[in-house]
């Protein structure tokens, strides 16, 4: 298990796995007052967390399923990627896809962070690609 350096400028405990088999840790809203998110509105919400990932890793910011299913609140650029060389505060781009306003409370769990290994590639410029049964079929080309 890789170690990740973290700075916690929030008043809350470190993000943690809520169950023994959780894939992600929950991130909390660092707010001085409640924030209203109107229908179709988006806002960046701070977490007070900064991390230093080891090379070869990314952190993916993902929605919390309960907020999405019950209130239509999701992470706009899901999954958002935090690169290994980023050192700023993690901000969450929340959007309200419901028809009703939603109030985000200080300390509310608003997103989850999942860590993943990544690799960089080197391009191999070609004039043609190998053929496959799918070929260049686009969206929906494999059926329902």
For 27-79, the pLDDT digits (tens) are 999 999 999 999 999 999 999 999 999 999 999 999 999 999 999 999 999 99
- Main-chain phi, psi angles of 71, to 5 degrees: -130, -5
E strand spans, 4-100: 5-8, 24-28, 35-37, 42-52, 57-62, 73-75, 80-82, 89-96
CA atoms within 13 A on the CB side of 53: 20
Torsion of CA 80, 35, 37, 58, to 10 degrees: 0
- In the chain the domains, ranked by start, together with CATH numbers, are 5-12+26-117 (2.70.40.10)
CA atoms within 13 A on the CB side of 66: 6
pLDDT of residue 23: 96
DSSP annotation of 97 reads -
Global pTM reads: 0.88
């Amino acid at each position: 298990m890789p170690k990740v350096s973290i700075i916690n400028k929030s008043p809350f405990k470190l993000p943690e796995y809520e169950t023994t088999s959780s894939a992600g840790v929950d991130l909390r809203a660092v707010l001085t007052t409640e924030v209203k998110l109107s229908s179709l509105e988006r806002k960046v919400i701070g977490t007070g967390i900064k991390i230093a990932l080891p090379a070869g890793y990314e952190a993916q910011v993902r929605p919390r399923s309960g907020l999405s299913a019950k209130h239509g609140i999701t992470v706009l650029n899901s999954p958002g990627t935090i690169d290994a060389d980023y050192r700023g505060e993690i901000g969450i781009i929340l959007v309200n896809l419901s028809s009703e306003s939603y109030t985000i409370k200080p300390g509310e769990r608003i997103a989850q962070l999942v860590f993943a290994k990544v690799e960089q590639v080197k391009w191999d410029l070609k004039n043609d690609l190998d053929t496959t049964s799918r070929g260049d079929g686009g969206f929906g080309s494999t059926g329902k």
